[in-house]
Structure 1
Amino acid sequence: MAVLSKYVIIVSGGTGSRMDSSLPKQFHLLNGLPILMHSLYAFYRNDKSIKIILVINKAHQKLWEDLCKKYAFEVPYDLVYGGESRFHSVKNGLDFIFKQESFLTNVLIGIHDGVRPLISQEVINRAYSTAESNGSAIPAIKSRDSIRIINAKKENKAIDRDSVLIIQTPQVFRADLLQEAYKHKFEESFTDDASVIEKSGYPIHLIEGDIRNIKITYPTDIDIAAIWVK
């Protein structure tokens, strides 16, 4: 496949309710810069031809614009408003891209959580190159902890942790696969983009993720990320 265009949709519409703060987590500072800016910088540094689509809550637009001015943030991007769920936010980003591109089989689209600021250049490269060859690429790491599963009766039992993988982003796909998959109506089982693709019957290709590629969720996550951020 001859790739003509590469995109990344950076989804950042959350409110950060688990951060014990009224400020959404993507706008908290990490080593002197808002978390979300680290995420955008990672893709801009990787390949300046990657077109960045930033999806945010409309209510956060003024706050984000003020931060961009304060920190002289000049990474180019297109802004799209989020929807009622992550699924709908991604769909809004995809719809924006589909209006720009005619030959979707020659387009790769990555989808990344805005609060994963430590994404490495190696994982970004691996994700796009694998998706170019196989149609999809989903970073995953093994669990280091013991795992137990709970059923509907609240009963729990241990399972083999080697059979469990922790999924990360960016998840990268050929654009025509995403266009077909996102014709589905939202389902609660759609916890990430791979689950939407899988619903359409397309195979999911896993790649090696990075233990440092954490999702900022709790205040202590910022302290951990500050040790690793470059």
Structure 2
Amino acid sequence: MATGATAAAIVLAGGSGTRFGSGHNKVYLPLAGRSVIAWSINTLLAIPEVGPLVLVVRPSDRELAEWVLDREVEHGGVELVHGGSTRQESELCGLRHLASRIDTDEVDIVLIHDGARPLLSQNLASAVVHAARVSGGAIPGLPRHDLVQVSPDGQQLAGAAPGHLITVQTPQGFRAGPLLAAYEQAAREDFVGTDTASCVERFTDLRTHWIAGEPANFKITYTHDLLVAERVLADLGRHQLS
């Protein structure tokens, strides 16, 4: 690792409001005085381990994203990039934007975070960076004990779910060089993974380490999730912009 190498963060803001029931991109909806997307951006920018932050947006949302960055983000320097038609294409757009800094080892770790998870903590993001540096890759998640199997026809219960299962969260963090190479290989082979880790697993020999996630780091998916997030922010004493 070169002297001064640092982590970079890619925040994805390309989601829609389909399940949320909104005609607008849910990451720009208001949450306790600022947009959903602004909360995690501010958290990541406050972490000493994180240098460049790339916000990947839909071209149609660019003006809205610029408005949020100008008025709701507490530090400058966020780099805006247009994403693709899928999550994986958008991740690759962000990685290609960082490619020159990855090639020179200026960036050694990349965090990829879903902008619809506004309650990311600094401690969790720092833990992902540390674990990724040690093992090559890290994913936060919460254990699940409430799942069962069903029969192939879906009509009957078939016992407890096998093994140890977790609910995966973001940010997911990986060594930057292998991550970029994996995404480029996936693009050449038209491979579409379920998340960042699936591309890494298929095209690298990195070991991905699971670390404990946080209950508050949930995804805004439905309308009531915003109400829950507001209550959590109030309980944590995190205040809206003045």
**TM-score, reference length from structure 2:** 0.85
1:41-80 matches, cutoff 5 A:
41-47=42-48, 49-71=50-72, 74-80=75-81
1:163: Cα distance to partner?
Answer: 1.8
1:213 to 217, 221, 224: 217
Deviates more, 1:178-187 or 1:114-123: 178-187
- Per the TM alignment, residue 150 of structure 1 is displaced from its structure 2 partner at its CA by 6.7
Matched with 1:191 is 194
**Does structure 2 conserve the Cα–Cα contact (< 8 Å) formed by 1:55 and 1:89?**
yes
User: What is aligned with 1:224?
Assistant: 228
CA spacing shift, 1:129–1:65, aligned 2, 3 Å: same
What is the match of residue 35 of structure 2?
34
SS across alignment from 1:184: helix
Q: Which has the larger displacement, 58-67 or 133-142?
A: 58-67
Whether contact under 8 Å (2:138, 2:173) holds in the other structure is yes
Aligned to 1:172: 173
Alignment of 1:80-229 (within 5 A): 80-104=81-105, 107-148=108-149, 151=152, 153-154=153-154, 157-160=158-161, 163-182=164-183, 183-185=185-187, 186-188=190-192, 190-202=193-205, 203-229=207-233
In the alignment, the residues of structure 1 paired with residue 181 and residue 68 of structure 2 have an alpha-carbon distance, to the nearest angstrom, of: 36
Q: Is the 8 A contact 1:137 1:207 kept in 2?
A: yes
Aligned residue identity for 2:222: Y
Given the superposition, is the C-alpha separation of residues 149 and 37 from structure 1 closer, same or farther in structure 2, using an over 3 Å criterion? farther
SS of match in other structure, 1:141: strand
1:14 is displaced (CA, Å) by 1.0
* Separation in 2, partners of 1:27, 1:149: 38
CA deviation vs aligned residue, 1:21-49 (integer Å, no higher than 9, x gap): 11211011110110000010010112275
Query: Are the counterparts in 2 of residues 108 and 131 from structure 1 also a CA contact under 8 Å?
Result: yes
Q: Report the equivalent of 2:16.
A: 15
Structure 1 residue 135 displacement after superposition: 0.8
Q: Encode CA deviations 1:141-168: one digit per residue, 9 max, x unaligned.
A: 11142334574x4456343376211111
In structure 2, how many angstroms separate the alpha carbons of the residues matched to 1:165 and 1:135?
Answer: 20
Q: Distance in 1 between matches of 2:63 and 2:93?
A: 20
- Deviation by residue 1:117-137 (Cα, 9 ceiling, x = unmatched): 111111111100111111111
Q: Distance in 2 between matches of 1:92 and 1:139?
A: 23
Q: What SS does structure 2 have at the residue aligned with 1:50?
A: strand
The 10-residue stretch of structure 1 (166-175 or 57-66) with the greater mean CA deviation from structure 2: 57-66
Report if the CA contact (8 A) 2:42-2:75 is conserved.
no
- Structure 2 unmatched runs, 5+: none
* Residues 1:178 and 1:155: Cα distance change in structure 2 (over 3 Å): farther
Asked whether the 8 Å contact 1:105–1:174 carries over to 2, the reply is no
Change (3 A) 1:184 1:159: same
Aligned residue pair count: 228
Determine the C-alpha separation between the residues in 1 that align with 2:186 and 2:146.
35
Contact 2:40 2:118 in 1 (8 A): yes
Moved more, 42-51 or 90-99: 42-51
Distance 1:72-1:194 versus aligned 2 partners, 3 A rule? closer
Deviation, 1:70, is: 4.7
- Cα distance, 1:86 vs structure 2: 0.4
Say if 2:49 and 2:129, in contact at 8 Å, map to a contact too. Answer: no
**Could you state the TM-score of these two structures normalised by the residue count of structure 1?**
0.90
